[in-house]
Structure 1
Amino acid sequence: MAFSQGFTPHPKISYASAAPTGVGSEAEYLEIGLQAPVDPAALRIALDAALSPGLDVLDAVVAKEGGLADRIDASHWRIEMPEIEPGAAEKAVEAFLAADEVLVERMTKQGKRSFDARKAVASFTVAEESDAPSGAAAAPCAIIDLVVRQVTPAVRPDDVMSGLRVVAGLEPPVPPRVTRLAQGSLTPQGEIVDPLDADREDAPIGGR
């Protein structure tokens, strides 16, 4: 692995749009600098073996032109809300989408900040009952499918949930289960393109 220069060298690792604390993710990306060319498949296996169970490295590719951050402008989230009826969630989502602006507040290092959570939302739907997790028939559980654009300040899933409380008074009695399903470039058709797609080819990973 390559290291930075100076009195306190550190590994050349950079994360793009890391998920917030307390949520799950199936789509995290990072860039690492290497001192010498390495086979991508061998690198993936080595990194995967070094991580704790539950942290899986799925792919490794040679980085071409442009940074990883330039290829990510949206995230796709799944939000499970136990004890919330899907019908109630659907009404709240409709109210959110109908609003021109949904102001929410979040505590930051500079203090409490107010911002619009509506403008960042590209897609917001309640999943069909067939998409509900196993065991959901015994108790209500609304499943929300959410696509959020990257804006400044960043709008997180919990900000959107705060927005549902603002516009419709929807407040889950237990914390929602949030999982990032994908992140990448958002197309005009509403699809998210994997940021590694442009780099996928059989080639060694070179030092950067």
Structure 2
Amino acid sequence: MREQPEQQAPPVQRLRIRYAKRGRLRFTSHRDFSRAFERAVFRARVPMAYSSGFNPHPRISYAGAAPTGSASEAEFLEIALAAVVDPADIHRSLEEALPEGLDILEVVESPGGSLADLLQASHWYADVSAAPIEAETAVAVFLAADEVPVERMTKKGLREFDCRAAVVSLAAGPAPEGSAAGARLDLVLRHAVPAVRPDDVLTGLRATAGLDSGPAPLLTRVAQGPLDEATGRVGDPLRSRA
């Protein structure tokens, strides 16, 4: 009989981590980030809890990763530990072990529940080349539509879906001073199935109103968490319980 694998002890502490993808590191894929984070955990000597089985791996739960190429100030993961530690110490150790541009912003003890269930919506900025008045007109046309079908290539082939239904709010204004962009779109997207990304909304704006977003619009996620349906605001998942 094959020898049974050693059963690992259950975790004694769980920590939730918010991190950012900035600058050139926004082009890091989720797979590349997960590898970099696991190396950082090893270098920082974090007392990780491990899964049981023939190939134990550190207990790290990733949730709601931004599309490759998007900057983000609101990426989240949860780690399970084999010893109780001070979250501030883990913050410092991981910050030193990760490359600049993959930045640890906050580490807190998990309040319990499912982190993934709390990530109900995202707040995005999209900096586009169009003039503010053009962007405002396009937004008005888009929001007036009952449905805006778009197509995107997925792992299962070309798929068509409605990008309008996931939009909680959308507004346009001038881009920040010093930016090369002309206008900034302020967008809140509900997490749905199929997932609607900010670039899908840009495709919808081009289809409905001819908005030219430019060759390389900058997409930045500024918040991700529970959605307040009454106000349309995105809350903080580090202080919420699913």
Note whether the superposition's TM-score is higher than 0.5. Answer: yes
Aligned position for 1:190: 232
The one of 14, 21, 30 equivalent to 2:77 is 30
Once residues 49 and 74 of structure 2 are traced to their aligned partners in structure 1, the CA distance between those partners, rounded to angstroms, is: 24
Q: What SS does the aligned partner of 1:163 have?
A: helix
CA shift at 1:10, angstroms?
A: 1.5
Q: Given that residues 103 and 116 in structure 1 are in contact (C-alpha distance below 8 angstroms), is that contact kept between their aligned partners in structure 2?
A: yes
Paired residue for 1:16? 63
Deviation at 1:141, TM superposition (A): 0.7
Displacement after TM superposition at 1:17 (Å)? 0.5
Question: Aligned partners of 2:236, 2:49: CA distance in 1, in Å?
Answer: 25
1:1-208 aligned at under 5 Å gives the runs 1-82=48-129, 84-127=130-173, 129=174, 132-136=175-179, 141-187=182-228, 188-198=230-240
**Secondary structure of the corresponding residue to residue 78 of structure 2:** strand
Would the aligned equivalents of 1:14 and 1:32 in 2 still touch at CA under 8 Å?
A: yes
Alpha carbons of 1:7 and 1:27: their partners in 2 closer, same or farther (altered >3 Å)?
Answer: same
Change (3 A) 1:192 1:53: same
Q: Which has the higher strand share?
A: 2
- Give the superposition deviation at 1:134: 2.8
SS at match of 2:122: strand
Contact (CA 8 Å) 2:74, 2:224: kept in 1 or not? yes
Q: Which runs of 5+ in 2 are unaligned?
A: 1-47
Q: Which runs of 5 or more structure 1 residues have no equivalent in the other structure?
A: 200-208
Distance in 2 between residues matched to 1:45 and 1:194, nearest whole Å: 22
Measured at CA, do residues 173 and 64 of structure 1 come closer, stay the same or move farther in structure 2, by a change above 3 Å?
closer
CA distance in 2, matches of 1:85, 1:58: 33
**Residue type of the partner of 2:81?**
L
Letter in 1 for 2:112: E
8 A contact 1:86–1:140 mirrored in 2: no
| Greater mean alpha carbon deviation, residues 72-81 or residues 5-14 | 5-14
- Alignment check: 8 A CA contact 1:81 1:172 kept: yes
- Counterpart code for 1:196: L
- RMSD over aligned Cα, in angstroms? 1.4
State the 1:143 CA deviation. 0.6
Percent identity reads: 55
Contact 1:77 1:146 in 2 (8 A): yes
CA positional deviation for 1:140? 6.0
- Residue 22 of structure 1 aligns to a residue in which SS? coil
Aligned length: 193
**1:111 Cα deviation (Å)?**
0.6
One-letter amino acid of the structure 2 residue matched with residue 170 of structure 1: L
Q: TM-score, normalised by structure 1?
A: 0.88
CA distance in 1, matches of 2:155, 2:105: 34
Distance 1:76 1:98 in 2: 21
The code of the aligned residue for 1:195 comes to P
Change (3 A) 1:29 1:110: same
How much does 1:55 deviate? Answer: 1.9
